[in-house]
């Protein structure tokens, strides 16, 4: 059965006598017997092998040689098999002989192991017999040594107690130290034998000796330092007292503590009497005498008794620490009783003297008696009186006395408040003085620098006093007077100008007073409105003062931020989040904005008269085009007179000068366009005066050039204007030019005129379109027809653009504006196309514009979606397309957009 199982595991024999090995066996055979012979391959095929040897008829020539070679190989394999089979016949006999030989060797080895083990046991027994006596002797030796040592200690203890009693009685403290240390150590050795009565009695005797010795030394110290002699024993000398201190160091630490407490109190007894709160010398104005007393006393003490006390007792430092405690308590009591007598000078004097004294103590002593570890000290930074940083590890005595002043630092804060109030009044008086142009070295008011220098000194001083609540209170005072400075100094110094509201108020009061002559009053109101251009302007000195206020506000704005950061750095962590000066920064921001607005108004006011002159020019009568008009020359002269003054005085605030230029053009150009709409360019026969239009176009282009050069006008250095500014001027002034070119287009060909309007002014509103018609003196009846045509044309273009790209239409008006801004850059090309358009190609242009009209043209097609009576074919198309829900949604979006844009 075993043979059969083995054959099934490794190979199976089939009817054709072929052996099939498993994959594992084949893999092992391939590793052991590596062969490249194709016949050894597991998938060997005879037919394929023969076809490989003889691929064609010509190769059969060598078949006989191949057969012969194969026969030789078969014979060789047979011989090998025969040798292997014959060799296996002797294998069983050889294996049996080898097994018998191995069994004999194992038996011999076992016998040797048993013999070795037996010998080892006998040897161990022999060693034990030899060393038994040695162990007994060793144990006896240890016991004997311990007994001798104990007897010696016992002898020392008994003899030491007797000798100590004699030495104590004779007060020989120098000879007591060594025996006392010895019996103390021996007594510790006998603590394990405390259950023995004799040993217990000896231990109690040692304790009594220590107690007696401590009491005796304490009495001797009191006797030595007392004025009157109270015992029969002679007073001890300083050397004996020094030996007594060494003895106390060996005794219980409480003895040393009690002795030092008594001694320090005895040393400071005189101080308590001299500086009692009833004495005049105890008040703050003589606080330096307290510290002088301690200095003298320490020198006297160290000179007399320095050798008495061991150095590690730190008696001088202990006296100083107790002095600081007593002084702190005394000052707290006396200041609480006489708080009304404390003024800021006296308080700062006392604090200054105290801080200097504490720094001196920190340099003199290590602070070991205060329990301060130099590795774990508070690393807060401190500043000396001269502003130099002091190593925090040296300030071990910081606030040991000075903490008593913190409860009264509100006096200091109130004093700072009063000083700042006086300083602000001084600044106000300086502002009231006449402003001297050209004398100032800087456009920033010196008072602002003085204010922040004072702030810095106060902050440094307060940081020396306390960085907690007083520092936060000081920050509140700073905030208060920053607002005071902004309102009383900066805003007060801004020159006043007669505003439009003032003139309107006077005119309205005129109407109220003179209701009987209503026509006269109304005429006066209109006259006042027309006289706005004659408003009083700022002088050069006023402009410089405004610039000074602006630059000063900018300096204050930057410095306030630095002040806030520094306060947060200095103040304690609990108050950091409470410090916020955003309101004060907003105040200075507002002042800067007001100054820029005043400068803009002044430059704008200088142009009012020229704009009025422009509106009064008879443009319809101009017969030739010459140089720029006088009102443009006057505006340029106004720019050259005003802008250089502002630019030179804002040289250190370039960004605000740029803001000034931006705000001016944003206000002035729309006003210029409004005046442009008032110009009459139509002749008596109803046609446009082309020469008048060309002259106005020339003037507008000249103004555009002047505005582009505005930031550097009158400057020796030709600096390029900011890109953002240039874009605004080009965009808005190009619109003014386009308005004039639209006016130049004949209105008789209404379709062509409408197309020109849509090309040149794609974002025009109905109101602006009507103003253009007024410029061309079109009759009201004709205006209605043109407006209706304009709506239909814009509606057609809008519908075409919507059908081409509905996804690009946004319901947000800002999206429409951004699209228009992108199209403004192509206005020049549109203008050229519009100029070259002929009436003969009108129908083609309509088709083209229907798909290419910018999205801003949609705003004119209000008639299509609001249900007006003037519906056209475009309306019908829209209504038809609105039958589907998608078209209705898109039309509704466009309708909402139109409602936002149209007035």
The CATH code of the domain that includes 718 is 1.10.357
Checking if the pLDDT of 850 tops 50, the result is no
Q: Which of 891, 783, 902, 803 is nearest to 851 (CA)?
A: 803
User: In this structure, are 589 and 718 located in the same domain?
Assistant: no
Give the C-alpha separation, 899 to 412, whole Å. 65
Does 91 fall in a domain? Answer: no
Checking if the pLDDT of 837 tops 70, the result is no
Give the C-alpha separation, 638 to 604, whole Å. 9
Give the C-alpha separation, 121 to 124, whole Å. 5
Checking if the pLDDT of 147 tops 90, the result is no
Does 439 fall in a domain? Answer: yes
Tokens matching residue 403: 């903490």
Residue-averaged pLDDT of the chain: 75
Could you tell me the CA-to-CA distances from 334 to 9, 276, 341, 808 in Å, in that order? 112, 9, 11, 84
Query: Per-residue pLDDT averaged across 810-835, rounded?
Result: 35
Query: Per-residue pLDDT averaged across 132-153, rounded?
Result: 73
pLDDT at 702: 92
User: In this structure, are 648 and 770 located in the same domain?
Assistant: yes
Report DSSP state, residue 688: B
User: In this structure, are 633 and 752 located in the same domain?
Assistant: yes
Which of the residue ranges 87-101, 841-855, 884-898 has the most confident prediction, judged by mean pLDDT?
A: 87-101
Sort 783 into a burial class: Cβ within 10 Å, 0-12 / 13-18 / 19+: middle
> What percent of the chain is helix, strand and coil (3-state, nearest 5)?
80, 0, 20
Checking if the pLDDT of 157 tops 50, the result is yes
> First vs last Cα of the chain: how many Å apart?
113
Give the torsion sign (CA, 610, 611, 612, 614): positive
Neighbours of 660 (CB within 10 A): 26
Does 218 fall in a domain? Answer: no
Write down which residue in 594, 609, 624 finishes a domain: 609
- pLDDT greater at residue 556 or residue 151: 556
Query: Per-residue pLDDT averaged across 468-474, rounded?
Result: 91
810 pLDDT tier (thresholds 50, 70, 90): very low
User: In this structure, are 742 and 604 located in the same domain?
Assistant: no
Checking if the pLDDT of 73 tops 50, the result is yes
510 touches 524 (CB < 8 A): yes
pLDDT at 30: 74
Checking if the pLDDT of 632 tops 60, the result is yes
Residues 6+ apart with CB under 8 A from 169: none
Model pLDDT for residues 600-622, shown as the tens digit of each residue? 999 999 999 999 989 888 888 88
Checking if the pLDDT of 560 tops 50, the result is yes
Phi-psi sector, 367: left (phi>0), alpha (psi -120 to 50), beta: left
Give the C-alpha separation, 191 to 397, whole Å. 44
Give the count of domains, the chain.
2
Checking if the pLDDT of 141 tops 60, the result is yes
pLDDT at 634: 92
pLDDT at 681: 78
- Percent of the chain at pLDDT exceeding 90: 24
Residue 579 sits at the vertex; the CA angle it makes with 576 and 580, to the nearest 5 degrees, is 135
Q: Which of 767, 752, 900 is nearest to 836 (CA)?
A: 752
pLDDT at 154: 64
Query: Per-residue pLDDT averaged across 62-73, rounded?
Result: 85
Give the C-alpha separation, 591 to 552, whole Å. 10
Give the torsion sign (CA, 382, 387, 391, 396): negative
Instruction: Residue count of the chain, please give it.
Output: 903
Checking if the pLDDT of 898 tops 90, the result is no
How far is CA 230 from its chain centroid? 74
Write down which residue in 798, 814, 839 finishes a domain: 798
User: In this structure, are 626 and 563 located in the same domain?
Assistant: no
Model pLDDT for residues 427-463, shown as the tens digit of each residue? 999 888 876 655 556 788 899 999 999 999 999 988 8
pLDDT at 4: 43
Give the C-alpha separation, 685 to 783, whole Å. 17
804 pLDDT tier (thresholds 50, 70, 90): very low
Does 767 fall in a domain? Answer: yes
pLDDT at 10: 43
Does 95 fall in a domain? Answer: no
Checking if the pLDDT of 478 tops 60, the result is yes
> Would you say the pTM of this structure is higher than 0.85?
no
268 touches 322 (CB < 8 A): yes
pLDDT at 577: 92
Does 830 fall in a domain? Answer: no
Tokens matching residue 61: 């020539």
User: In this structure, are 616 and 576 located in the same domain?
Assistant: no
Give the C-alpha separation, 353 to 289, whole Å. 10
Report DSSP state, residue 714: T
Residues 6+ apart with CB under 8 A from 301: 267, 315, 316, 319
Q: Phi and psi at residue 367, in whole multiples of 5°?
A: 80, 15
User: In this structure, are 628 and 729 located in the same domain?
Assistant: yes
Q: Which of 539, 540, 538, 555 is nearest to 442 (CA)?
A: 555
689 touches 619 (CB < 8 A): yes
DSSP 830-877: HHHHHHT--GGGHHHHHHHHHHH--GGGGGG-HHHHTT-S---HHHHH
| For helices 842-852 and 780-804, angle between their N-to-C axes, nearest 10 degrees | 50
User: In this structure, are 571 and 633 located in the same domain?
Assistant: no
Query: Per-residue pLDDT averaged across 720-745, rounded?
Result: 89
Residues 6+ apart with CB under 8 A from 525: 504, 507, 508, 510, 511
Residue keyed to tokens 């902004």: 486
Tell me which of 280-284, 488-492, 508-512, 810-814 is least confident. Answer: 810-814
Q: Which of 485, 481, 600, 482 is nearest to 547 (CA)?
A: 600
821 pLDDT tier (thresholds 50, 70, 90): very low
| For helices 827-835 and 750-760, angle between their N-to-C axes, nearest 10 degrees | 160
Tell me which of 221-225, 383-387, 541-545 is least confident. Answer: 383-387
pLDDT at 525: 39
pLDDT at 448: 92
pLDDT at 836: 35
515 pLDDT tier (thresholds 50, 70, 90): very low
User: In this structure, are 595 and 743 located in the same domain?
Assistant: no
Neighbours of 273 (CB within 10 A): 9
pLDDT at 140: 78
User: In this structure, are 709 and 565 located in the same domain?
Assistant: no
Q: Give the chain's radius of gyration (CA, Å).
A: 58
Checking if the pLDDT of 502 tops 80, the result is no
Report DSSP state, residue 381: -
Does 204 fall in a domain? Answer: no
Q: Phi and psi at residue 293, in whole multiples of 5°?
A: -60, -45
13 pLDDT tier (thresholds 50, 70, 90): very low
Q: Which of 558, 293, 588 is nearest to 452 (CA)?
A: 558
Give the C-alpha separation, 758 to 793, whole Å. 9
pLDDT at 49: 81
Give the C-alpha separation, 797 to 568, whole Å. 63
Neighbours of 405 (CB within 10 A): 25
pLDDT at 393: 46
530 pLDDT tier (thresholds 50, 70, 90): very low
Does 10 fall in a domain? Answer: no
| For helices 238-250 and 173-189, angle between their N-to-C axes, nearest 10 degrees | 10
User: In this structure, are 442 and 416 located in the same domain?
Assistant: yes
Write down which residue in 579, 609, 639 finishes a domain: 609
246 touches 201 (CB < 8 A): no
Q: Which of 279, 203, 294, 213 is nearest to 246 (CA)?
A: 213
49 touches 39 (CB < 8 A): yes
Dihedral (C-alpha) 370, 372, 374, 377: value to the nearest 10 degrees?
-130
Give the C-alpha separation, 857 to 809, whole Å. 12
- Percent of the chain at pLDDT exceeding 70: 70
Q: Tell me the residue range of the domain where 557 lies.
A: 401-497+537-609
User: In this structure, are 474 and 620 located in the same domain?
Assistant: no
pLDDT at 520: 37
pLDDT at 762: 84
Checking if the pLDDT of 494 tops 70, the result is yes
pLDDT at 250: 73
Q: Which of 354, 440, 437 is nearest to 397 (CA)?
A: 354
Residue keyed to tokens 């555009």: 704
862 pLDDT tier (thresholds 50, 70, 90): very low
Tokens matching residue 763: 């974002």
Checking if the pLDDT of 631 tops 70, the result is yes
pLDDT at 670: 93
Residue keyed to tokens 């340099």: 363
197 pLDDT tier (thresholds 50, 70, 90): low
417 pLDDT tier (thresholds 50, 70, 90): very high
Tell me which of 132-141, 314-323, 346-355, 811-820 is least confident. Answer: 811-820
Query: Per-residue pLDDT averaged across 867-887, rounded?
Result: 38
pLDDT at 153: 61
């Amino acid at each position: 059965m075993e043979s059969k199982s083995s054959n099934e595991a490794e190979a199976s024999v089939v009817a054709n006598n072929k052996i099939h090995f498993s994959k594992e066996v084949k893999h092992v055979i391939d590793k052991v017997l590596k062969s490249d012979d194709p016949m050894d391959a597991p998938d060997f095929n005879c037919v394929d092998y023969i076809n490989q040897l003889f691929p064609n008829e010509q190769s059969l020539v060598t078949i006989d040689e191949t057969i012969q070679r194969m026969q030789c190989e078969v014979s060789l394999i047979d011989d090998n098999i025969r040798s292997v089979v014959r060799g296996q016949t002797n294998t069983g006999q050889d294996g049996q002989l080898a097994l018998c030989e191995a069994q004999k060797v194992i038996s011999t080895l076992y016998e040797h192991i048993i013999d070795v083990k037996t010998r080892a046991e006998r040897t161990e027994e022999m060693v034990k017999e030899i060393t038994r006596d040695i162990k007994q002797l060793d144990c006896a030796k240890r016991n004997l040594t311990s007994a001798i040592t104990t007897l010696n200690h016992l002898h020392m203890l008994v003899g030491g107690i007797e000798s100590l009693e004699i030495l104590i009685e004779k007060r020989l403290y120098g000879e007591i130290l060594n025996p006392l240390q010895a019996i103390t150590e021996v007594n510790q050795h006998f603590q394990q034998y405390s259950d023995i009565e004799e040993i217990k009695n000896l231990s109690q005797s040692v304790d009594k000796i220590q107690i007696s010795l401590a009491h005796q030394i304490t009495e001797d110290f009191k006797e030595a330092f007392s004025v009157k002699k109270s015992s029969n024993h002679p007073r001890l000398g300083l050397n004996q007292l020094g030996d007594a201190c060494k003895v106390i160091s060996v005794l219980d630490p409480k003895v040393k503590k009690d002795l030092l407490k008594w001694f320090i109190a005895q040393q400071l007894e005189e101080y308590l009497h001299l500086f009692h709160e009833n004495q005049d010398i105890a008040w703050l104005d003589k606080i330096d005498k307290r510290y002088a007393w301690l200095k003298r006393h320490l020198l006297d003490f160290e000179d007399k008794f320095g050798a008495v006390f061991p150095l590690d007792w730190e008696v001088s430092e202990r006296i100083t620490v107790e002095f600081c405690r007593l002084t702190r308590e005394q000052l707290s009591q006396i200041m609480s009783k006489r708080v009304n007598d404390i003024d800021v000078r006296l308080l700062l004097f006392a604090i200054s003297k105290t801080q200097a004294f504490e720094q001196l103590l920190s340099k003199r002593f290590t602070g070991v008696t205060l329990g301060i570890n130099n590795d774990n000290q508070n690393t807060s930074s401190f500043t000396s009186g001269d502003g130099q940083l002091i190593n925090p590890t040296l300030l071990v005595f910081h606030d040991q006395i000075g903490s008593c002043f913190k409860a009264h630092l509100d006096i200091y804060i109130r004093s700072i408040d009063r000083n700042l109030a006086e300083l602000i009044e001084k600044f106000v008086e300086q502002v009231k003085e006449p402003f001297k142009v050209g004398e100032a070295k800087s456009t920033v008011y010196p008072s602002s620098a003085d204010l922040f220098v004072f702030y810095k000194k106060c902050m440094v001083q307060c940081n020396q006093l306390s960085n907690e609540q007083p520092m936060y209170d000081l920050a509140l005072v700073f905030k208060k007077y920053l607002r005071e400075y902004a309102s009383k100094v900066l805003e007060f110094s801004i020159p006043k100008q007669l505003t439009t509201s003032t003139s309107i108020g006077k005119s309205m009061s005129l109407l109220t007073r003179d209701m009987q002559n209503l026509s006269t009053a109304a005429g006066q109101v209109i006259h006042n409105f027309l006289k706005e251009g004659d408003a009083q302007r700022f002088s050069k000195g006023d402009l410089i003062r405004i610039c000074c206020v602006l630059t000063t506000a900018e300096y204050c704005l930057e410095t306030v931020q630095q002040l806030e950061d520094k306060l947060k750095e200095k103040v304690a962590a609990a108050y950091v989040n409470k410090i916020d000066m955003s309101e004060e920064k907003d105040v200075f921001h507002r002042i800067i904005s007001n100054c820029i607005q005043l400068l803009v108004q002044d430059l704008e006011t200088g142009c009012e008269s020229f704009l009025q002159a422009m509106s009064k020019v008879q443009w319809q009568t101009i017969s030739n085009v010459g140089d720029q008009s006088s009102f443009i020359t006057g505006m340029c002269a106004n720019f050259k007179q005003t802008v250089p003054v502002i630019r030179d005085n804002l040289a250190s605030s370039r960004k605000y000068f740029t803001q000034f230029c931006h705000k001016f053009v944003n206000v002035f150009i729309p006003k210029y366009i409004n005046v442009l709409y008032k110009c009459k360019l139509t002749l008596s026969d109803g046609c446009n005066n082309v020469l008048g239009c060309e002259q106005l176009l020339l003037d507008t282009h000249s103004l555009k050039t002047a505005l582009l050069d505005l930031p550097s006008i009158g400057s020796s250095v030709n600096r390029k204007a900011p890109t953002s500014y240039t874009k605004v001027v080009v965009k808005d002034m190009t619109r003014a030019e386009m308005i004039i070119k639209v006016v130049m287009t004949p209105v008789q060909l209404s379709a062509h005129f409408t197309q020109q309007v849509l090309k040149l002014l794609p974002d025009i509103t109905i109101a602006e379109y009507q103003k253009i018609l007024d410029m061309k003196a079109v009759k009201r009846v004709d205006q209605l027809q043109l407006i209706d045509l304009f709506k239909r044309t814009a509606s057609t273009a809008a519908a075409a653009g919507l059908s081409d790209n509905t996804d690009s239409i946004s319901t947000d008006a800002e999206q429409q504006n951004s699209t228009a801004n992108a199209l403004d850059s192509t206005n020049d090309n549109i203008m050229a196309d519009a100029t070259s358009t002929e009436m003969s190609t009108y129908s083609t242009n309509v088709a083209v514009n229907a798909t290419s009209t910018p999205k801003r043209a949609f705003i004119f097609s209000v008639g299509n979606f609001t249900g007006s009576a003037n519906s056209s074919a475009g309306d019908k198309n829209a209504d038809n397309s609105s039958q589907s829900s998608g078209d209705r949604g898109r039309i509704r979006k466009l309708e909402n957009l139109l409602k936002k844009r149209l007035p």
